[in-house]
Amino acid sequence: MRTTKEKPDLQKKVHEVPHKPGVYLMRDRFNRVIYVGKARDLRKRVSSYFLPSKLAQADLKTRAMLEATWDFETHVVRSEAESVLLEGKLIKEYRPRYNISFRDDKRFLLVKIDISEEWPRFRLTRLKKNDNARYFGPYADAGALRQTLNLMRKKFGVLTFGRGAPTERELKSSTYQVPVRLSEITAEQYRERAARACEFLEGHSREMIDALDEQMRKAAEKMEFEKAAELRNMIDDVRQTTKQVRRFTRGTLPSAIDPLADVQALGDGLQLPRLPRVMECFDISNISTTHVVASMVCFRDGVPDKDCYRRYRVRTVQGQDDFASMAEVVRRRYSRVLLEARERNPDVAEFSQENPADAIDRVSDKSEREFVAVRLPDLIIVDGGKGQLSSACRELQRLGLHDLPIIGLAKEHEEIYRPGRALPLQLPADSGALHLLQRIRDEAHRFANAYHQLLLKKRIDESILDDCPGVSQNRKSLLLRKFGSVNRLRKASVEQIAATEGIGPKLAEEVHRFLQRH
């Protein structure tokens, strides 16, 4: 039987909602989402639902929704455009019973450019495909986007919509003459225009906005107010389109997280010798025995530092052994860090009496920018309990890194295991410190699983060659070593395939024909 918590005081809860843009979710007594809405000012919008006069004046649908509402939650975003994007994502995800708009699968507009084309064009699409094209967006304001594309045609002389080389009409058009007419440039020169336009869509629009602003001021000084208003609208459209907007994916929600405050809380909760500004977390993914892989994710000042992420294929472990797998990847990670530190600076001597961690800290302090790549973390986190933690600790001790702070986070009860402590630590469920650890652990889990799926897909793709007549395991290895993947092999000509060692013209033709059919 389902149980429900005591209904919160919604009138009191409203006063904690900020005056910021965002989305709000109404939930019923079983915690099901029954309505999703967006607001420019969350406090004003949400509080309006709980005014005594609102229920009396509401239509039947709104009255039914308010009577069913048991609780609500809000999520702050950075702009009204982001609130539109997030609202659409959440309605598609939860399918709330009281929402009507967004219930179809309409998607927001994207800008697509296939840079492999001789004359790449900027086109609108609603579906992002896994192809060689570049995509910009999504854009919540379709009108602003279309006006911006019109401006791009004039300012960069790039082609929009359509396909292929420029038409006779486009070659003669005065639109495409910045600074030289389209008919007087080569395809290579045109691609340089397209590259500048891509930078513009990425957000490098300050120069153009300043130029438009100057034109608007001059028009106003000449009392050409209609032209000035047109330029003002153009500036708004450019700002709306080129402003950086977050992409919200299924299952992700923004929140009022304060990363640095969570880092401070974690340092206090674990009683660490220094603030854990740099944290590295390891996770093992052994969904099958085909590939056992691991991930290492890095958080810097409480946020992901994806440039420092690493992924590993476990080499020395047979079968599914999380403890041995964790030992291998921890050993590989930190032996590599020590090796790189010694190569970069002879002060970190291999046979020095100085603790390796202290030596790296010493040379890192000289030039944080130069040595950040080989800096040891302030805290290591392993996904798992006592067994995984013990395996990782043994490897650190062998490397002379026994003083490096390390913990194990067991998922079932969110227990934190520490070296030399018999009993686990449990942080409060609502603490920022625990939420930070969960974010790091979940990111490591996601990254490991993504790598596992990538290897699995690659293996499935490669298995098609097992059915190709005349292709032995040795020849299969030779082909994949040369072309890198089945997809690239499929695009190769018969002559290119025949140039592979051990593959003759007749077999090359057979392989080419087989891959075109399959």
Q: What's residue 388's pLDDT? A: 93
Position 40 in a domain:
yes
> Same domain for 335 and 437?
yes
* 252-301 per-position pLDDT tens digit: 555 556 788 899 999 999 999 899 999 999 998 875 555 688 899 999 99
Paired with 36 in beta bridges are 25
Q: What's residue 440's pLDDT? A: 93
Q: What's residue 418's pLDDT? A: 94
Kindly report the three-state secondary structure assignment for every residue of 91-136.
HHHHCCCCCCCCCCCCCCEEEEECCCCCCCCEEEECCCCCCCCEEE
Indicate if the pLDDT at residue 64 is higher than 70.
yes
> Same domain for 287 and 394?
yes
* 92-110 per-position pLDDT tens digit: 778 888 876 444 445 678 8
* Mean pLDDT, range 435-457, rounded to an integer: 82
CATH code of the domain in which 16 resides: 3.40.1440.10
Whole-number average pLDDT of the chain: 79
Indicate if the pLDDT at residue 31 is higher than 60.
yes
Position 103 in a domain:
no
Position 408 in a domain:
yes
Radius of gyration of the chain (CA): 29
Domain limits for position 510: 468-517
> Same domain for 328 and 231?
no
Q: What's residue 486's pLDDT? A: 75
* 388-427 per-position pLDDT tens digit: 999 999 999 999 898 899 999 987 778 999 998 888 998 8
208, 242, 276: which is the final residue of a domain? Answer: 242
Q: pLDDT-based confidence at 363, cuts 50/70/90?
A: low
**Taking a C-beta distance cutoff of 8 angstroms, is the pair 313, 332 a contact?**
no
Position 435 in a domain:
yes
Q: What's residue 195's pLDDT? A: 86
* 182-196 per-position pLDDT tens digit: 778 888 888 888 888
Q: pLDDT: is 285 or 434 the higher one?
A: 434
* 484-512 per-position pLDDT tens digit: 777 778 888 888 888 888 788 888 888 88
* Mean pLDDT, range 333-355, rounded to an integer: 71
Q: Is the peptide bond between 424 and the residue preceding it cis, with omega within 30 degrees of 0? A: no
Q: What is the spatial distance between Cα 500 and Cα 471, in angstroms, rounded to a whole number?
A: 13
Position 287 in a domain:
yes
* Mean pLDDT, range 46-69, rounded to an integer: 78
* Mean pLDDT, range 123-150, rounded to an integer: 79
> Same domain for 330 and 374?
yes
Q: What is the pTM of this model?
A: 0.46
Q: pLDDT-based confidence at 179, cuts 50/70/90?
A: confident
Q: Of 112, 111, 110, 113, which Cα lies nearest the Cα of 191?
A: 113
Long-range contact pairs involving 383-387 (C-beta distance under 8 Å, separation at least 24)? 383/281, 383/282, 383/283, 383/284, 383/408, 383/409, 383/411, 383/441, 383/444, 383/445, 384/284, 384/322, 384/326, 384/408, 384/409, 384/410, 385/410, 385/415, 385/417, 385/424, 386/417, 387/322, 387/323
> Same domain for 113 and 190?
yes
> Same domain for 234 and 268?
no
Position 387 in a domain:
yes
Position 27 in a domain:
yes
**Taking a C-beta distance cutoff of 8 angstroms, is the pair 305, 298 a contact?**
yes
Q: Write down the residue that tokens 């000012």 correspond to.
A: 41
* Mean pLDDT, range 311-329, rounded to an integer: 86
> Same domain for 303 and 197?
no
Q: What's residue 358's pLDDT? A: 66
Q: What's residue 372's pLDDT? A: 40
| Spatial CB neighbours of 92, under 8 Å, sequence gap ≥ 6 | 102, 105
The alpha carbon dihedral of 491, 496, 502, 507 has a sign of positive
> Same domain for 307 and 378?
yes
Q: What's residue 389's pLDDT? A: 95
| Spatial CB neighbours of 116, under 8 Å, sequence gap ≥ 6 | 132, 133
> Same domain for 229 and 90?
no
> Same domain for 173 and 206?
yes
Position 254 in a domain:
no
> Same domain for 390 and 283?
yes
Q: What's residue 199's pLDDT? A: 81
| Element of type H or E holding 281 | strand 278-285
CATH code of the domain in which 447 resides: 3.30.420.340
Q: What's residue 406's pLDDT? A: 96
Q: What's residue 263's pLDDT? A: 93
94, 129, 148: which is the final residue of a domain? Answer: 94
Number of domains in the chain: 4
Q: What is the DSSP string of 170-184?
A: HHH-TTS-SSS-GGG
Q: What's residue 171's pLDDT? A: 80
Q: pLDDT-based confidence at 3, cuts 50/70/90?
A: very low
65, 94, 123: which is the final residue of a domain? Answer: 94
* 199-239 per-position pLDDT tens digit: 888 777 677 777 777 778 787 777 777 777 777 777 776 77
> Same domain for 383 and 483?
no
